[in-house]
Chain A
Amino acid sequence: MTTQDRLTISRESKLEDAGYKWGFSTDVEMELAPKGLDEDIVQLISSKKNEPEWLLEWRLKAFEYWSKLHSEDSEPRWAKLRYPQIDYQDIYYYAAPKSLDDAPKSLDEVDPEMLETFDKLGIPLHERERLAGVAVDAVFDSVSVATTYADQLEERGIIFCSFTEAVQNHPELVKKYLGSVVPYTDNFFAALNSAVFSDGSFAYVPPGVRCPIELMTYFRINTEGSGQFERTLIVADEGAYVSYLEGCTAPIRRTSQLHAAVVELVALDRGEIKYSTIQNWYPGTKDGEGGVYNFVTKRGMTGNDAKISWTQVETGSAITWKYPSVILRGDNSVGEFYSVALTNNYQQADTGTKMIHIGKNTKSTIVSKGISAGHGENTYRGGVRILPRAENATNHTQCDSLLVGDQCGAHTVPYIEVRNPTARLEHEASTSKVSDEQLFYLMSRGISEEDAHHMIITGWSRDVIKELPFEFALEAGQLLKVSLEGAVG
């Protein structure tokens, strides 16, 4: 089947889901490697990207490890998720827009269809829109298509580019930090990603530099039957600060798409990274058909006095398996996790965080809000581990669940492991529904039931939304509203 045929099919199925406005697909000529995964594919990806020998070796080791796990049937199944067995040989591991074969030198060379795509998504790639004040790296299927503002950032020594470019231009940095937080042996999906990752974003902020604008990567899956395996690596050197945003969408497809990303954050001494995500992959139809399977490994590691903060709004994907974590290795370091996860229709999410306290006086905060509607299943799974050397570590965890309707499920599974008596740990959680009194009050003031629900839910999620950068916060509020459509009233 040619690319064109596939795209036609997806155009037809698009009509079924009016709720997901990011569901259009783009007619861009794609170059696809054959379906399936073996050593040759790994070699092909590596050679397509003109990678150095050490990276190919690393990929092959990862592939070998993944194959071993796969043959032992060691795909993780502990999460509270139900989905059919994934056929890893029925996926395209490499899909790239053809016109990018000889990488574009400037935005003018980028396929106009693609620019239009990102325009539709509201992602400013054009020069004229550079006033928006966000540096964007746009990843289309597996390949980074454009990075804005790179020149201005470079003046301050900040590197922000696609992963592929980073491998070519800054191999010493990539080699030093790749796999340092998430080694390829970490888990099944991280091993898979390490073997076949095709692109992603790379950011490096030099010592003492405060990145003046937000960095953003926008991920888009387009090709049907393709997996997206991007790899993001962000390094804040000593005393550096960076705020990074990540957004994602995919077209409407009948079949499910696999997304297995790895994000590594390194905050050296006194460094700070703020990482915000709005995850809005295609969630599948109202009857649970199609949608993105999102298996993501995100982790950060801190130096002394460093800080890493994760904020996520998860409204998309049919399946979400994601635990952005912080290894608090340095003394006095801080880890934060703020999350709103919403599941509607037949969506399932098993998400949370892990805070591993190794250094002294380390501090972590977890605020998780789970919203279940329709037949959605929402699980908070979190780990807080205080190791013996972590004197005076503190953790505060708050996880709340909200149920909308009586056919959904909300679950909380915290793991708290304490091996130091000076630790101070508190975990609280509650489960409730939207209160009838509050609804009644708002409705008696002339607000429709749906709007009233939306207001209450947005208010309830406020502790998390307020952590987002301003533009993102607005988008998050809208997303919650759209995602909940049909669940109330």
Chain B
Amino acid sequence: MTLNVARIPRNTARHLTQYRDDWHHLAEHQEGYMSGFDAHHDLRRAAWEEFERIGFPVHRRDNELWKYTDLRQIDRIGFRFGDWDTQVDLARIAELVPMPEEWSNLVFINGSLEHNSGNAPLTRIQACDWVGKLADYRSNGFVSLATAFMRIRGGSYLQFDRAREYAEPVHIIHVIDGSVGGPIVDNPRIAVEMGDSSRATLIESYVSLSEDVHMTLPVVEIKLGEGAELTHYRYQYNSENSYHFATTRVLQEASSNYRSTSFSVGSDIGRNDVFTHLIGEYAESILHGVYLATNQQHQDNEISTTHAAPHCTSDQYYKGILSGQSRAVFSGKITVERGAQKTDANQKDLNLLLSHGAEVDTKPSLEIYADDVKCGHGATAGYVDEDTLFYLQSRGVDYDTAQAMLIRGFAAEILDEYEDQILREFLEGKLDELMPALQETSDTIGTA
């Protein structure tokens, strides 16, 4: 298999000088740069050079990973990286995300940490010599750009001690305020190291304060030691003019347990790229999520798990709700390597398609090199069940209410899994808030 020779897309090339200036400015203002103590300088430079070479993955021909996602509009915009003067208004942020006192809330605005309540086990990036090892900056232009502009003060580097249970969820909130200039980019870096047998809950939230065009490029790297357990929630509700490309890489040792649930509703083009790597026996990886899209939105889920050790379990389960002219992509992959016997892997993607303009492209794939395994996958797409709609109407429920009930019920299967009650109720509320927009752009099918 030969790959196409990478070439930088024409439009990105036009903006390259600006990106390069921003990059030099940032690199030279990092702590330790002058004295040569910036441990991550080489990584940043290599990532920058990679971006100069490949640009954004605009060319989709023969590029399976970006087959269904058109990035030409992003390529045309010249984004800016920098330090922005930003107003902090916590009360306003609290309207957008739950910030209960019993959580450790870390609030980042345009990339810098502005508020830290609680006892999140933060450490300095210098302590994380493995940063950049899981999320390869060569994977695509977004990861290379995010890595090139990685800041010392802009990330969350968490170290959970071994054999300890952290009751307080760590909530990392990235707020982007595009009104300060731009179009700006926020490239949150999160690195989590879970000691053996540690137990914690991590919540990531991404919200926007303005409707201006902006882009968020989170790169999250998580290492789970033996027997470690992490519950990971992800909430993405950036404004509809924004772009969101998230990359999550998880490495799991024996008997570790990673449970992730995502809720993606925002942005014009949003992509959630998750890869979990099971390298120890009896590890478990659960990746669940709901994605919603209306109007012209595009939600892309690139979900992949590799079983590299025997006796592991994995479960991918995603549900999509689409109306208007929106489009969603689910590209799931389970790889069972040679020798990973007794694997139990499942993969499912179910979609509600509510309008004629909407489109879903789903590709649940399996790649299996071991014979003693149990692997299954499934996918469905269609409108809310007409018989059920009819039944509800025959009991006096009007069409809209019945349709809303069925949409809510569809999402509930995933939302009910949220163990954290505050978060669950918050998301259920969000879904209700979004319901009119979903229903207005949906078609009436059956008897109204």
Q: Are B356 and A406 in contact (CB under 8 A)?
A: no
Q: Are B368 and A421 in contact (CB under 8 A)?
A: no
Q: Mark A401-419, 1 if CB is under 8 A from B, else 0.
A: 1011111111111111111
Note all chain A residues with C-beta closer than 8 A to B62.
77-78
Note all chain B residues with C-beta closer than 8 A to A410.
366, 368
B347 CB → nearest A CB, Å: 9
Q: How far is the CA of A82 from the CA of B367 in the complex (A)?
A: 15
| B380 interface neighbour in A409, A427, A430, Cβ under 8 Å | A427
| B445 interface neighbour in A401, A421, A427, A428, Cβ under 8 Å | A421
Q: How far is the CA of A432 from the CA of B336 in the complex (A)?
A: 13
Interface presence of A423 (CB below 8 A): yes
Q: Are A413 and B363 in contact (CB under 8 A)?
A: yes
Q: How far is the CA of A234 from the CA of B361 in the complex (A)?
A: 33
| Known contacts A412-B366, A414-B364, A432 near B445 by CB under 8 Å | no
| Known contacts A411-B365, A418-B353, A427-B378, A77 near B1 by CB under 8 Å | yes
B373 CB → nearest A CB, Å: 6
| A416 interface neighbour in B363, B369, B371, B374, Cβ under 8 Å | B363
Q: Are B365 and A408 in contact (CB under 8 A)?
A: no
B95 CB → nearest A CB, Å: 34
Using a CB-CB cutoff of 8 Å, which residues 413-472 of chain A contact chain B? 413-433
Interface presence of B351 (CB below 8 A): yes
Interface presence of B303 (CB below 8 A): no
Q: Are B379 and A427 in contact (CB under 8 A)?
A: yes
| B367 interface neighbour in A405, A409, A432, Cβ under 8 Å | A409
Interface presence of A179 (CB below 8 A): no
Interface presence of A388 (CB below 8 A): yes
- List the A residue with the shortest CB-CB distance to B330: A416
Q: Are A430 and B371 in contact (CB under 8 A)?
A: no
Q: How far is the CA of A483 from the CA of B368 in the complex (A)?
A: 21
Note all chain A residues with C-beta closer than 8 A to B443.
421
| A411 interface neighbour in B363, B367, B371, Cβ under 8 Å | B367
Q: Are B381 and A423 in contact (CB under 8 A)?
A: yes
A129 CB → nearest B CB, Å: 44
Q: Mark B371-391, 1 if CB is under 8 A from A, else 0.
A: 111111111111100000000
Q: Are B371 and A406 in contact (CB under 8 A)?
A: yes
Note all chain A residues with C-beta closer than 8 A to B381.
416, 418, 423, 425
Q: Are B363 and A429 in contact (CB under 8 A)?
A: no
Q: How far is the CA of A77 from the CA of B62 in the complex (A)?
A: 8
On chain B, which size bracket covers the interface? 35 or more
Q: Are A414 and B365 in contact (CB under 8 A)?
A: yes
- List the B residue with the shortest CB-CB distance to A73: B2
| Known contacts A428-B376, A431-B375, A409 near B382 by CB under 8 Å | no
Note all chain B residues with C-beta closer than 8 A to A420.
353, 356
Q: How far is the CA of A430 from the CA of B344 in the complex (A)?
A: 11
| Known contacts A418-B360, A421-B358, A401 near B374 by CB under 8 Å | no
Note all chain B residues with C-beta closer than 8 A to A414.
363-365, 379
Note all chain A residues with C-beta closer than 8 A to B354.
421
Interface presence of B370 (CB below 8 A): yes
A239 CB → nearest B CB, Å: 32
Q: How far is the CA of A410 from the CA of B2 in the complex (A)?
A: 22
Interface presence of B53 (CB below 8 A): no
- List the B residue with the shortest CB-CB distance to A385: B361
Q: How far is the CA of A406 from the CA of B371 in the complex (A)?
A: 5
- List the B residue with the shortest CB-CB distance to A415: B363
Q: How far is the CA of A5 from the CA of B357 in the complex (A)?
A: 64
A407 CB → nearest B CB, Å: 7
Q: Mark B64-99, 1 if CB is under 8 A from A, else 0.
A: 100000000000000000000000000000000000
| A407 interface neighbour in B338, B361, B377, Cβ under 8 Å | B338
| B377 interface neighbour in A77, A412, A419, Cβ under 8 Å | A412
Note all chain A residues with C-beta closer than 8 A to B373.
403, 431-433
Q: Are B361 and A388 in contact (CB under 8 A)?
A: no
Q: Are B369 and A424 in contact (CB under 8 A)?
A: no
- List the B residue with the shortest CB-CB distance to A397: B379
Q: Are B378 and A411 in contact (CB under 8 A)?
A: no
Q: Are A421 and B355 in contact (CB under 8 A)?
A: yes
Q: Are A421 and B353 in contact (CB under 8 A)?
A: yes
Q: How far is the CA of A49 from the CA of B443 in the complex (A)?
A: 57
Q: How far is the CA of A427 from the CA of B347 in the complex (A)?
A: 11
- List the A residue with the shortest CB-CB distance to B339: A406
Q: How far is the CA of A69 from the CA of B64 in the complex (A)?
A: 20
| A425 interface neighbour in B64, B364, B367, B382, Cβ under 8 Å | B382
Q: Are B365 and A421 in contact (CB under 8 A)?
A: no
A420, A423, A426: most-surrounded residue (chain B CB, <10 A): A420
Q: Are A411 and B366 in contact (CB under 8 A)?
A: yes
A421, A423, A424, A428: most-surrounded residue (chain B CB, <10 A): A421
Q: How far is the CA of A432 from the CA of B361 in the complex (A)?
A: 27
B365, B376, B383: most-surrounded residue (chain A CB, <10 A): B365
Interface presence of B359 (CB below 8 A): yes
Note all chain B residues with C-beta closer than 8 A to A429.
364, 366, 376-378
| Known contacts A418-B353, A421-B356, A412 near B365 by CB under 8 Å | yes
Q: Mark B1-14, 1 if CB is under 8 A from A, else 0.
A: 11000000000000
Q: How far is the CA of A200 from the CA of B195 in the complex (A)?
A: 67
- List the A residue with the shortest CB-CB distance to B375: A431
Q: How far is the CA of A410 from the CA of B62 in the complex (A)?
A: 22
Note all chain B residues with C-beta closer than 8 A to A432.
373-374
Note all chain A residues with C-beta closer than 8 A to B380.
425-427
Interface presence of B294 (CB below 8 A): no
Q: Are A413 and B365 in contact (CB under 8 A)?
A: yes
Interface presence of B261 (CB below 8 A): no
- List the A residue with the shortest CB-CB distance to B335: A411
Interface presence of B341 (CB below 8 A): yes
Interface presence of B362 (CB below 8 A): yes
A409, A410, A431, A432: most-surrounded residue (chain B CB, <10 A): A431
Q: How far is the CA of A422 from the CA of B370 in the complex (A)?
A: 39
- List the B residue with the shortest CB-CB distance to A403: B371
A435 CB → nearest B CB, Å: 11
A positions within 8 Å CB-CB of B: 77-78, 82, 388, 401, 403-433
A-B contact list, 11 entries, CB within 8 Å: A82-B1, A406-B371, A410-B368, A411-B365, A418-B361, A421-B354, A421-B355, A425-B379, A427-B364, A427-B377, A430-B375
What are the nearest 3 A-B pairs in CB distance? A403-B371, A421-B353, A431-B375
11 more A-B residue pairs beyond the given contacts A412-B365, A416-B362, A425-B380, with a C-beta to C-beta distance below 8 A: A406-B338, A406-B371, A418-B362, A421-B354, A421-B356, A422-B445, A426-B378, A426-B380, A427-B377, A428-B376, A432-B373
